[in-house]
Structure 1
Amino acid sequence: MIYLDYQATTPLAPQAREAMLRWLGGPDSDTFGNPHSPHRMGRMAAAAIEAARENVAALMPPGGRVVFTSGATEALNTVLLGTGGDVLTFATEHAAVLDCARAVAAQGRRFTVLPVLLDGRADLEALKAAMTPQVGLVAIMAVNNEIGVVHPLEEAIAIARAGGAQVLVDAVQAFGRVPLDPSQAPLRPPLAPDYIAVSAHKIHGPKGIGALWIGPDAGPLQPLLHGGGQEASLRSGTLSPALCAGFGVACRAVDTEREMFHVKHLWNVAREAFADWELNGSAEHRWPGNLNIRREGLDVARLMSDCRQVMFSAGSACASGSGRPSHVLRAIGLSEAQAKSSIRLGFGRYTNEDDIVAAAAAINAAARSQAS
């Protein structure tokens, strides 16, 4: 099989798997302790978690703190529901943001969804026009999960700052790929966000764990979960040393420059192989490991059935099976028919050129057979 669905999830890095195995802990081991217990086994587990926290923090802006969560969805919900003031966000955001609208409104706060440009980037003029003294939070993706478009974060953060609002960045698709340290592009001081949400399984870590980075100047948050308050009194629940360790080692294995070089090469190969397909979203402002393309009249369900050895997506994996056209593709002006004739190919660290060539041959042959 050929795996080309890196936006949905990534293969577990071997070194992350090895780190996790130690902390799964059988009855004859000393590594199954509760990290919140005061005895020796508990302290050992807690030390493993703190080492992992440092590894995650190393890929974040300096300062602030990292709070472990069950994933980026929980991290995003924590900020959206735990801050005050009205919320501004964009039409191509993940459902983990957009589907918080009703819960935010139930708190008596406005939740406004702003448009994007036809290339998929945030409409900054719309953001400027929507800023009011009542806006407390602007939520914006770094890299879109469906079309790979990179938002103009610096400009958006500057607009929010000028209006007195905090900024939440969904960095799920950017973490470990696009630098988030403000000493590097695209975020330079003082334009780091207040909150960053990430997920381990998008950077070759395990599923079931993510993190919320909280900047040094961020306002107070109300907890989403209540209980023991294990994570800085903000997030209750017993942490898994195995998941934390796997996440931390996955972060330590990140080599952004090397991966970018590799993925750009794969992008060039893929663009040539699919030269007669239409590209969805900006060709210039995007993560090159995401290729979202369309072909007029294509029956994507039939295509996926005919190419069962190639793992790719008909849209966002989080919304697949709904039967609805992608809200992201509709937001950039595609018709329902165009959105439903689009596919998404995602590739990264463990993809090679032969994978792209073989997958393209199978997909193109199946697409041509539909037109004959």
Structure 2
Amino acid sequence: MVEDDTNRGDAASGAPAVSVQSVTKQFGDFTAVDGLSLDIRPGEFFSMLGPSGSGKTTVLRLIAGFEQPTEGTISLFGDDVTKKAPFDRNVNTVFQDYALFPHMSVLDNVGYGLRVRGVGRADRKKRAMRALESVRLDHVADRMPSQLSGGQRQRVALARATVVEPSVLLLDEPLGALDLKLREQMQVELKQLQRDLGITFIFVTHDQEEALTLSDRIAVFNAGKIEQLGTPRDLYENPASRFVADFIGNTNLLDAEVSHTVLGVAGDHSIRPEKMIVSRSEDAALGVRSAAGSVVESIYLGNSTRVVVDLDAGVRVTVLEQNVRKHTPEDARGERVFVQWHDEDVVPLQPAA
């Protein structure tokens, strides 16, 4: 049986790896995806980030072919696949539940997709071993899935998904079942694997730190639409809306009234906690604003201290101070202080639609 090269990624064609155009998906009266248009570049690590019910997983399923759009088109490298079945699209999906076959060895699990495609035994073994080498698990090829750790099973699932050389790899919160330390380790390994393979990765997550760590670009989803699209730095440093500012990282949101009082400007604004400092003196350098207040709480976090201050202007802000020198515990609650920041670190936010 000869493998079908239909939809195989061709970055030289100049077409997006994935193009979603004017796509709407309705489930009865509920609109899960609302008129979405999005182009994802070849070789890009692209993340779709948002809370539960925001539409990100539905978009992933539409790209995979597990769902059909109510309206709109989906293309892979310029080829319209809107009405094609999942097995007719050169994509593969890694789920949170790795779904490894418990009765098969690791090697046979990885080679299963090749077996279904009619690849001969010798070639299948060779390619499966090469895929295991890419995730540094060739030494466990003869083991059963039950003999592996959670992180190893996750890497086996990645090897199984990539061995068939898909043009696009879809990942539906694949790290969600891992503990924090292992998840952070796997984030580094996943990014390195994507760079080595050069495959377009589309990653769905609700974890903003994970998206910032892994992605070339991120689409922040809200109510079936993209609230903002950009690089991790763009989204963190210049959030366009209150939703994005609040969802990605921690921030201090100042409404129009507080902005007028504290900043002397109109509209809503955002200031990240690490962009502020707590001073015991009102004196401020040129270009630095200062607002008086009282410390509500000072929380030692090891590498930093979170200081919560009630400003006299009637708003509570959080300041994140790095513990660059040895921290001496002290009870600062009730202390009068001045919160200071640079004007350039204040980000104006678009009004809610």
Q: TM-score, length-normalised on structure 2?
A: 0.27
Look at both structures and tell me which one has the larger radius of gyration over its CA atoms. 2
User: Which of the pair has the greater relative contact order for Cα pairs under 8 Å at 6+ separation?
Assistant: 1
- Higher strand fraction: Structure 1 or Structure 2? 2
Which has the larger share of helix?
Answer: 1
